[in-house]
Structure 1
Amino acid sequence: MSPTDTRADMADYDARIAELEAKLARLEATTETRTARTGTGLKDWAERYGLLAAWVLIILILGAFRPEQMFSWNSYATMLGSNAMIVVLTLALIIPLTTGDFDLSVASVMAISSMLIAVLNVRLGYPIGSAMLIALMAGAAIGFINALFILYFGIHSLIVTLGTGYFINGVVLWISGGTPIAGVSMDLVRAVILTRFLGIPVGFYYALALTAVLWYVFQHTALGRRLLFVGRGREVARLSGVNVNRVRTGALVASSTLAAFAGILYTGMRGASDPSSALAFLLPAFAAAFLGSTAIYPGRFNAIGAFVAVFFLSTGIMGLNFLGVDSFVQNLFYGGGLVIAVSISQLLRGRRPMD
């Protein structure tokens, strides 16, 4: 290849990258200027912050029936701390959701992370730090395996992650013998639940910090714009020079790694690992992910919206428990919340079909 051809190829590549950056900037500007499109600041405010207003409203309504509990700081301190792993699990979900992929294995990854820590620390005597590192590495490996089957074999993410999730569940039951394992190092318990700041377990602040990091990545980095661009149109992104498979692989690996971290928080909160209970968090995480996409940055999966949605739903469940409502109502609440959230999200997306 002659030097002239090389310079021409480089110029073409630079032009494509410049075009991509311009498209990403326009996409970001379009998303951030909803007021100009709707023509009314009030409607924009309602879309962005309606969920926050609904959160306050549900507290006031439930507080009218149980004021001594709903207006107690201890109730909210406990709720904030105990739902930290759901926040992290929801953050894990929204990364691949942004690129158009579903990860149904996150709760199973959380379960195997928790069980690996318990088996390694309690039964095999590994230091808790080493056990946590192995759990995180296992989570990242599972994400890579998911990406391999989705991208190399061309299987839909729903099918792949559903299958790997069930496979992981079997592994969890196998290594645990089907029974809970208690006696995890108190160092982990202290680092997650016993140490408190302003009365709130520090596990909550880990989730808060991750929310802030993910918000920054999504809103203020080229990586976040590429994630969004891939989710909005993979073929267009590919033709514009984005390595779509690399972006999707990174999203799936990050998702599973965060799910493994949720398993660490879950183990620290309980001081034990249960081979079955972690799976109950999949529905709340999905409900929060889609509900969160209707707030703050409406029509987009976003970290702050997901964070608010987790505690909006948790507040409702807490209030129903205070009212003595049967436990099955939780499933009705989360299931109904998921359907309603997806419906609202689709309306905000202009009824654009999901990939």
Structure 2
Amino acid sequence: MSVTDNPQSSGARSAFSGFSLKREAERYALVLAWLALFCVFGAMLPETFLKWRTISSMLGSQAVLVVLALAILVPLTSGDFDLSAASALVFGAMFVAVSDVNWGWGVGWSVVVVLVIGALIGAVNAFFVLYFRIHSLIVTLGLGTFLNGMTLWISDSRTVAGVSMDLVEVVVIQRLFGVPLAFYYGLAVALIMWWALEYTIAGRKLLFVGRGREVARLNGISVDRVRAMSFVSSGVLSVLAGVLYAGMTGSADPTSGLSLLLPAFAAAFLGATAIYPGRFNPIGTLVGVYFLITGITGLTMLGADAFVQSLFYGGALIVAVSLSQLVRKRQPQNFG
């Protein structure tokens, strides 16, 4: 009897096939849920929800949230939290607006300087977390509050309008295939992060540190350096989200961007259940953002009250964290 005729071999192949099918279904469950949600609202609101104007608006308007979610994803991958990310976003947007409109720096120099400030914000977080061994939740919450005060100070607690049209043009006015360029910026950041995590030494070290710091240290990885760079990367990406925010609105408000922190965390944890279940990943986070915004847009078009948005985001975060922890416990300790 040949190997192919062996019933035990057939049973093994069947079990392996079932396992693979289950794993693939788990990987793409969030994508399928997103498509199902889109189809439900499309069937309920065919005259509005399925219009290209609505779809392009959903894609282009969420670039800020995408980049912010990717910013907090980096320290999450190493096992840290960055609660200062939304405050850094608001400060970055305000700094660009104030330096361009009030100080006359020009938008180009304003963007360059604010990216440097973002790296400094991340370095300050890293210093207090790693040198004094304070939990990242406490440090980043404190620095975020400090940044809120700085934002109110440099803006005199007022909205600053009149950001250079050069920035507005390259963020929201110019379009590709009918979608604002802001969408492609967020997509580019997600793809670059995916490539870095999958194919660079620094990205693999970040994943190892997130899986187990002691094991990573015993394997010769400088854990503190990896964690420090994750905070710096988060700071830069957070203020980059602020630059996009200023470009999309043509202004900066001292408080409005703070509300993005909750949906950003919800998207990051939702993303940890998809594509690479059990670990935070940029492609899953991208899907998570658009799953959330599809639900919010559909509910808004159905006439839901404003409080439903808070219920949806809060509930999504609780469910996402629960699911990501369940999936993480079941996954083997690898990075594939």
**What TM-score range do you get, normalising by the shorter chain?**
over 0.9
Distance 2:284 2:306 in 1: 26
Distance 1:218 1:37 in 2: 28
Tell me the secondary structure at the aligned position of residue 70 of structure 1: coil
- Number of the residue aligned with 1:297: 276
Distance 1:257 1:36 in 2: 46
- Number of the residue aligned with 2:123: 144
Distance 1:162 1:174 in 2: 19
Tell me the secondary structure at the aligned position of residue 329 of structure 2: coil
Tell me the secondary structure at the aligned position of residue 284 of structure 1: helix
| TM value normalised by structure 2 | 0.92
Contact residue 298 and residue 345 of structure 1 kept, 8 A: yes
Distance 2:21 2:51 in 1: 32
- Residue of structure 1 aligned with 2:300, choices 310, 313, 321: 321
**Matched residue type, 2:52:** W
**Matched residue type, 2:319:** I
**What is the deviation of 1:335?**
0.5
Alignment of 1:67-86 (within 5 A): 67-86=46-65
Distance 2:42 2:59 in 1: 18
| TM value normalised by structure 1 | 0.88
**What is the deviation of 1:41?**
2.1
Aligned-pair Cα RMSD in Å: 1.5
What's the % identity of the aligned pairs?
55
Closer, same or farther in 2 for the Cα pair 1:199/1:221, shift >3 Å?
A: same
- Number of the residue aligned with 1:42: 21
Does 2:288 match 1:283?
no
**What is the deviation of 1:73?**
1.3
**What is the deviation of 1:42?**
2.1
- Number of the residue aligned with 2:197: 218
Distance 2:250 2:218 in 1: 50
**What is the deviation of 1:295?**
0.3
Contact residue 38 and residue 44 of structure 1 kept, 8 A: no
- Number of the residue aligned with 2:188: 209
- Residue of structure 2 aligned with 1:167, choices 132, 140, 146: 146
**What is the deviation of 1:219?**
1.2
How many residues align structurally? 318
**Matched residue type, 2:120:** A
Tell me the secondary structure at the aligned position of residue 47 of structure 2: helix
Does 2:21 match 1:52?
no
Distance 1:201 1:309 in 2: 20
Distance 2:324 2:231 in 1: 22
Tell me the secondary structure at the aligned position of residue 40 of structure 1: helix
Alignment of 1:261-272 (within 5 A): 261-272=240-251
- Number of the residue aligned with 1:117: 96
Moved over 3 A (4+): 35-39
Tell me the secondary structure at the aligned position of residue 349 of structure 1: helix
**What is the deviation of 1:337?**
0.3
**What is the deviation of 1:200?**
0.4
Distance 1:37 1:150 in 2: 44
- Residue of structure 2 aligned with 1:312, choices 265, 278, 291: 291
- Residue of structure 1 aligned with 2:315, choices 331, 336, 342: 336
Contact residue 211 and residue 304 of structure 1 kept, 8 A: yes
**What is the deviation of 1:61?**
1.1
